[in-house]
Structure 1
Amino acid sequence: MYINSLKRGNLMNNSTPLSRIAIFLMCALFMISLQVYAGGVMLYEISSADTRLASAGWSSRAQDPSTVFTNPAGMSRLCGEQVQFGAQPIYNYIQFDPNSRTNVSGQHGHANKWLPSGSLFYVRPLDESFTFGIGSLGYFGSDLHYNNHWVGRYYVQDVLMMGFSLVPALSYRINDCLSIGVGANVMYGIMKQRSAVNNILDQAPDGYFNLKDNKVSAGGVFGVLYEMTPSTRFGVQYLTSVKLGFRDRPKFSNIGPILTGILDEVGILNSTLNLKIRVPQSVIVSAYHDLAYNWSMMADIGWQQWSRFERTEIVLADLAQTSFQFTVKYRDSWHAALGTEWHVDDCWTLSSGIAYDSAAVSTSERTFTFPVGRQWRLGAGARWMKSCNLIFDFSTALLWQGDLKATQTRGAFARTVSGKYKNMYTAFACLNLTWLF
């Protein structure tokens, strides 16, 4: 049984829609503290359903309030007021083994870490045609904290690049088959980086420089849902790019007097860095079909425009230059997913899915700040309808990148670091609660 087929319950009926929206916004502000630490680069795991299905049916399922983001047109399928809360711990396994080309002393690198994440969505029909929704989520970012004294510390020690999104959206049902939707993607971006500075001129231990800034910017999300028959539907999500312009003056610490004088002379010491990030735009086309009364299949194809990502790497590599910004070349990536749901009975649904994303960067351009490659996703989970008003959704997924080679040579200070990220993966566990009012 699907969420959109349920009758409206009486849970929390004593509260008004406006009060529920106010409560939602307060909870959304609290969610910032969770989502800014979510790992990854572009995540599909924004809800339990997307996690257990490895994103399959992303823009065509429209079975719960997370459709606010995945396809705002899908809100037309939902029945009554609904709110969904998701909690999701994430584990990143990142282990770098240097090879003989590395000419920097130091340890192997590891950035293994548990990260909290979550999401919050609210949907309310306004009349027979219009439905309003709002979502709080994080789908873009990277959070890496390498161990001290690792060989790549002159490139990066810690880096946080994160976008937290608040998405108000509206859907309109044109007829029984066709719905459209639009939303604003208001993104709060956070940038922090800490890297070591080679104090070789002063024959002293490493110094450090720090950068940090935050910005608010906006983009849009657009969706179309076409329900060809009661058992077959197609969806499209278009997510625009979001431009984040960070600006900060690097703060140096523990650097020797000789290096300080040279940095001041070449204009780096008091320089202001302008860092432009363009969160990629994307398109996902999705299909959903009921093969039988208790068995459904879903599929996706998608595209992300990483070629205009404009990620700038900050490395103090060579004093012959008056800047220490390096532009990294990324390339567009492609996505495909396939998933299935088995409706055991009116209360239980089991799901699984598999997905593939091509690499957004070549091996020669891969950096230690964004170590990404081609990605395989495997997901599984279950949905349990406890009552007509309350639904639990459990899921787990594995994002596998395997072995990733990386080599960087930026100058006499940063030197050459070469090696391999071994068996790199990210594990997700997710719990969603959905209330129907």
Structure 2
Amino acid sequence: MLKTSMKLLPLLVLGAVSGTASAAGFQLLEQNATGLGNAYAGSAAVSENASGQYFNAANLADLEGRQFSTGVNYIELDSTFNNSASTNPLGRNNLAKSGVDGGDAAFVPNFYLALPLSKDLTFGFGLNAPFGMRTAWSKNWIGQYYATITDVKAMNFNANLAYKVNEQLSIGGGINYQKFDAQIETALNGRPLGAPIPDGLLSVAGDSWAWGYNLGLTFKPSAATKIGVSYRSAVKHELEGKYSVSGFTAGTVAIGAGVYGLNSTSGNAKVNVKLPDTFIISATHQLNNKWELLGDISRTSWSDVPELRVQFSDGSADKVSKYDWRDTWRVAVGANFQATDAWKLRLGLAFDQSPVKEGLRTPRLPDQDRVWYTIGAQYKLNKGSNLDVGYAYVKAKSAHGDETSANPAVTGRLVGDYDSSVQVLGVQYSMNF
């Protein structure tokens, strides 16, 4: 059964992850359900099962025997645009302005394996989705000439080694081979081509494979306290794919493409994306035989994503969306309560800073600072297996957007507020074998 699961999991991860970001930017923290109930507080210092290696490879050194862990998180984004001062584009006076929903939902699975190679050396493998986001705004909304669909997702294969130097110190590291897929769609106003020509659609899609690495260590200053430090590198992707212009009437497709700066109605396109690095410092402390406290601080280098630039092989001018994002900090605290030998209860609270600066917010990512409220539980099924469940409600601050283009008569001006929240429900099964 384990061999069959390992063969199927890459297909499940790639097929299921449409991506619905719950962390800032388009980062997915939901790499297991074990930490969800604690809002991922203490993530780089928690080694309850094989899934802890994602946040710190050194966590593998604390595991006993062969283990695997697999789970899934259901992530549901609710994002609503409420108009305040938007203006209509040329000839399009009936577009929806308020109460428009751009949210979506996705299942995000994961799989982890831990195999001791010797008394002090452990190999680990993980399959997960560290980045993902999908916003899907309906056609005929006031911002359709800025964004309709944005869908990005990453599938990550991660091989790790951990070495226990002594009872206090462990070190670990790994390599990552990552697939990144992106699809972007934007409506094109057909009115400038003449009445009653319908709107067109610009679609760009591509994918890429790239390498990265991760490093970490854990230190135990006392029997009750554990400190974890980890670093996950940036990954540079060069996505290659296709673009197409469709939707205009047959005789005006080529004209429409030219009006919007494209030399043809289809062709090859390329997008360079650098996914940011992440640094985490975590700590756990066992107060007594019932209570454990957890906390961490993490930093993500979102300033590595200054813009989204689509380059066309046919010589068409680049399509550029300026982001100018900033680096972000995340702070999380949590507690575990061992209610009985079989039941462990979890609580968590986190603050997650947004990389988006005021004045540069777009409907592709209407991001804002957010707060995580989480609960969870672990049930010991038997001596060698556990079941974890977790729930998170993530509430973002109201996010104001004011976007215009070089030709607002064609695209309109988009001014209003985005109200967003995320709900996450996770389940994780872990066992020794």
Tell whether the structures are fold-level matches, with TM greater than 0.5.
yes
Structure 1 unaligned residues grouped into runs of 5+:
1-11, 13-19, 316-320
Aligned equivalent of 1:27:
9
SS in 2 for 1:70: coil
Tell me what 1:119 maps to.
110
Does the alignment pair 1:418 with 2:415? yes
2:226 paired with 1:233: yes
* Paired position in structure 2 for 1:161: 152
| 8 Å contact from structure 1 (residues 301, 334) kept in 2 | yes
Corresponding residue SS for 2:60 = helix
Q: What percentage of residue pairs aligned between the two structures are identical?
A: 21
Query: How big is the shift at 1:172?
Result: 0.7
Q: What amino acid is the match of 2:171?
A: I
| Structure 1 range deviating more: 74-83 or 256-265 | 256-265
- Helix, strand or coil at the partner of 1:123: strand
Matched, 1:58 2:43: yes
> What is the alpha-carbon distance in structure 2 between the residues aligned to residue 323 and residue 32 of structure 1?
29
What is aligned with 2:369?
374
The amino acid that maps onto 1:221 is: N
Structure 1 residues 387 and 117, CA gap change in structure 2 (3 angstroms): same
Within the candidate set 349, 355, 377, 2:350 is matched to 355
Question: Closer, same or farther in 2 for the Cα pair 1:435/1:136, shift >3 Å?
Answer: same
For residues 90 and 262 of structure 1, what CA distance do their matches in structure 2 show?
38
Count of aligned residue pairs for this structure pair = 413
Equivalent residue in structure 1 for 2:254, among 242, 255, 260: 260
Letter in 1 for 2:12: F
Q: How high is the TM-score relative to the length of structure 2?
A: 0.90
* Aligned match of 1:150: 141
Residues in 1 aligned to 2:9 and 2:154: alpha-carbon distance in whole angstroms:
17
Q: Kindly provide the CA deviation profile for residues 366-417 of structure 1, in whole angstroms up to 9, marking residues without a partner as x.
A: 1111111112111101000010122111110011113111111113232311
The two structures have a TM-score, normalised by structure 1, of: 0.89
Equivalence for 1:73: 58
Instruction: State yes or no: 1:390 paired with 2:355.
Output: no
Relative to structure 1, the CA distance from residue 268 to residue 156 in structure 2 (aligned partners, 3 Å threshold; closer, same or farther) is farther
Do the aligned partners of residues 372 and 294 (structure 1) sit closer, same or farther apart at CA in structure 2, a change above 3 Å counting?
A: same
- With 322-331 and 63-72 compared, the bigger mean Cα shift is at 322-331
Alpha-carbon RMSD across the aligned residues, in angstroms, is 2.1
Preserved CA contact (<8 Å) 1:276 1:311: no
Shift of 1:43: 2.1
Selected match of 1:138 from 120, 129, 141: 129
Matches within 5 A, 1:67-106: 67-104=52-89, 105=93, 106=95
Q: Tell whether 2:336 aligns with 1:341.
A: yes
| Preserved contact between residue 199 and residue 259 of structure 1 (Cα < 8 Å) | no
CA contact (8 A) 2:17 2:132 kept: no
The structural deviation recorded for 1:187 is: 1.1
Deviations 1:118-169 (A, max 9, x none): 1111111111111011111112121111122111111111111111111111
SS at match of 2:72: strand
**Which secondary structure does the structure 2 equivalent of 1:76 belong to?**
helix
Superposed displacement of residue 327, structure 1: 2.7
Matched ranges for 1:242-253 at <5 A: 242-253=235-246
What SS is found at the alignment partner of 2:112?
A: strand
CA deviation after TM superposition for structure 1 residue 258, in Å: 5.7
Query: Deviation digits for residues 80-109 of structure 1, max 9, x if unmatched?
Result: 111111122111101111222333441132
Q: Distance in 2 between matches of 1:435 and 1:47?
A: 14
Q: Say if 2:18 and 2:133, in contact at 8 Å, map to a contact too.
A: no
Match of 1:404 in 2: 399
